[in-house]
Amino acid sequence: MSNAEPAPHEIACGGTGSVAAKPVADLIPARDVPLGRYTTVQRFLPHRDRRMAGAWCFLDRYGPQSVIALPGMRVPPHPHTGLQTVSWLLAGEILHRDSLGNTQPIVPGQLNLMTSGHGIAHSEESPREHPPTLHGLQLWIALPEEARHGPARFEHHGDLPVVTADRVRATVVVGELDGARSPAVVHSPLVGADVALDAGADTRLPLRPDFEYAVVMVAGRAGVAGDELGVESLLYLGTGRTELRLTAEAPARLFLLGGEPFAEKLVMWWNFVGRSHEDVAAARDDWAAGRRFGVVRGYDGDPLPAPPLPATRLKARGRAGD
């Protein structure tokens, strides 16, 4: 997925200055961002009051929406650098193509993980024949310095570990939860897990006190650490927790994200994560000139042009609210 804002601002994030050094429960409301002609996404991260949770630096939820007799998702080829993209579907089907030559459909329960390293380009689209409903999450993980200049990579995982308890089923999408580890290659200690709760669920997920965590609902409502959470907000939980109580009166589903606070300071702009304005400006120049990112073949349409660079130049500062 691409950040489809027509004039995105540079965002400074990362650094430990914005990390809550204790358990907190901050509600972060989603905002609607148009994605092409047919889709609106709910953006949870980055937010003015909360840029990251661990290395997770971007979180969009799309749908559930009917795509009957509609094209569905149409995200033309676009570049990424300095991050991993996590594509996680709740309903529907998406076809990924990238500049390494991969063409990979995904359906719910499967993971597409793309590691940009220094640079990759990809497109995402609903196949011509697609299921009636589209619903999913797109997340980005910031790469640490030692991985961000490395080679690009793409992984598809159709078989992910599942942790179960009474009326609870947690799929470990990336990282590790309760002793179960996803086979996906990540570059910092983190977790991303899809947790399905049946009616009457009351459970405690083990957490790491050194991790920051956040929860976003994908369906229904749940009690999360004693707070009632619905689909309209993300709940940032801070650090210092050893467990997370989850309750549900009716069936509900949520995504838990967490990780070691990301100590490096970042500048994000459009689809790039760098360390400075010059980093993201160089990536923009390379995309405009047809360098670095390669070519995505097979997508029926032109690549996305980069939006104009903002006039305001940010330094990486790494504090929420800057």
The residues that touch Mn ion, with contacts defined as CB under 5 A, are: 1-2
Order the strands of the 31-35 sheet from edge to edge: 31-35, 39-45, 56-66, 133-142, 83-91, 111-115, 153-157
Q: CB of residue 218 vs Mn ion: minimum separation in angstroms? A: 20
Q: CB of residue 262 vs Mn ion: minimum separation in angstroms? A: 20
Q: Which is nearer to Mn ion, 1 or 214 (CB)?
A: 1
Q: Which is nearer to Mn ion, 53 or 304 (CB)?
A: 304
Q: Which is nearer to Mn ion, 19 or 57 (CB)?
A: 57
Q: CB of residue 221 vs Mn ion: minimum separation in angstroms? A: 30
Q: CB of residue 54 vs Mn ion: minimum separation in angstroms? A: 20
Residue whose pair of structure tokens reads 């047919």 in the numeric block: 38
Residue whose pair of structure tokens reads 């993300």 in the numeric block: 234
Residue whose CB is nearest to Mn ion in the complex, by number: 1
Q: Which is nearer to Mn ion, 1 or 41 (CB)?
A: 1
Q: CB of residue 48 vs Mn ion: minimum separation in angstroms? A: 23
Q: Could you check whether the bond before residue 144 is cis, i.e. omega within 30 degrees of 0?
A: no
DSSP letter string over 157-174? ES---EEEETTEEEEEEE
Q: Which is nearer to Mn ion, 213 or 272 (CB)?
A: 272
* Gap between the Cα atoms of 35 and 138, Å rounded: 12
DSSP letter string over 164-209? EETTEEEEEEEEEETTEE-SS--SSSEEEEEEEE-TT-EEEEE--T
List of residues 6+ apart from 142 with CB closer than 8 A: 14, 52, 55, 56, 57, 82, 83, 262, 264, 266, 273
Q: Which is nearer to Mn ion, 21 or 295 (CB)?
A: 295
Q: CB of residue 140 vs Mn ion: minimum separation in angstroms? A: 8
Q: CB–CB of 161/180 below 8 Å?
A: yes
* Gap between the Cα atoms of 231 and 56, Å rounded: 19
Q: Which is nearer to Mn ion, 2 or 112 (CB)?
A: 2
CA dihedral 78, 96, 170, 258 (to 10 degrees): -20
Q: CB of residue 80 vs Mn ion: minimum separation in angstroms? A: 6
Phi, psi angles (nearest 5°) of residue 307: -65, 165
